[in-house]
Structure 1
Amino acid sequence: MAEIDTIMQGIRGVWIFQQLVDRLKMKLGWKHLYNQWFLLACSRHRPWLNVDATFMHLTQSLELYPDTKVTQVLFKSVKNAAELKQKAVEGKINGALINPTMLVSPFQVLVAANKAFHLHSIGNMKTRSLNSEIIFNLSPTNSISEAFKRFGISDRDDSALLVVVHGKDDELQAVSDIMAMVDGQQLPVDEVSSLSDLEKIRKLYKVTPQEETCGTLLDAVVCRMAIKDVM
Structure 2
Amino acid sequence: MAQVRTILLPHFEDYPVQVAMFKDVTNASFLRSQLLQANPDFDYAFLDAAMILSPLPLFLAITLSLHSTLSPATSPLRTRTPHSELVFRLHPNNNIGESYRKFGISDDTTNLIAVKFSLTPDVTNESVAKHLSEAVQGVSVDVGEDGSELGLFADLSKIKKIYKVNDGGVKGKGGKKGVTDQVGTVKDERSALENIIMGVMTLKGS
The normalised TM-score by structure 1 is 0.70
Following TM superposition, by how much is the alpha carbon of 1:168 offset from its aligned partner in structure 2, in angstroms?
8.9
What's 1:206 paired with?
Answer: 164
- 1:184 corresponds to which of 111, 120, 138: 138
Gap change, CA 1:55 and 1:135, over 3 Å in 2: same
- Alignment of 1:225 with 2:189, yes or no, is no
Deviations 1:22-60 (A, max 9, x none): xxxxxxxxxxxxxxxxxxxxxxxxxxxxxxxx9543321
> As a proportion of its length, which structure holds more helix?
1
After TM superposition, the score normalised by the length of structure 2 is 0.78
**Please, which runs of 5 or more residues in structure 1 have no aligned partner?**
1-53
* Greater displacement, 96-105 / 181-190: 181-190
Q: 1:84 aligns with which of 9, 12, 31?
A: 31
RMSD: 2.0
Q: CA deviation at 1:194?
A: 3.3
Q: 1:130 aligns with which of 54, 69, 82?
A: 82
What is the aligned-residue identity percentage?
27
| Shift in CA distance, 126/75, structure 1 to aligned 2, threshold 3 Å | same
Going from structure 1 to structure 2, the CA distance change for 1:164 and 1:101 (only over 3 Å counts) comes to: same
Query: Shift in Å at residue 81 of structure 1?
Result: 0.4
Greater displacement, 174-183 / 146-155: 174-183
1:171 matched to 2:125 = yes
Aligned amino acid, residue 27 of structure 2: N
8 Å contact kept, 1:96–1:131:
yes
| Residue 70 (structure 1) aligns with | 17
CA–CA distance in structure 2, aligned partners of residues 96 and 62 of structure 1: 17
5+ residue gaps, structure 2: 168-180
Query: Is contact 1:103-1:196 (8 Å) kept?
Result: yes
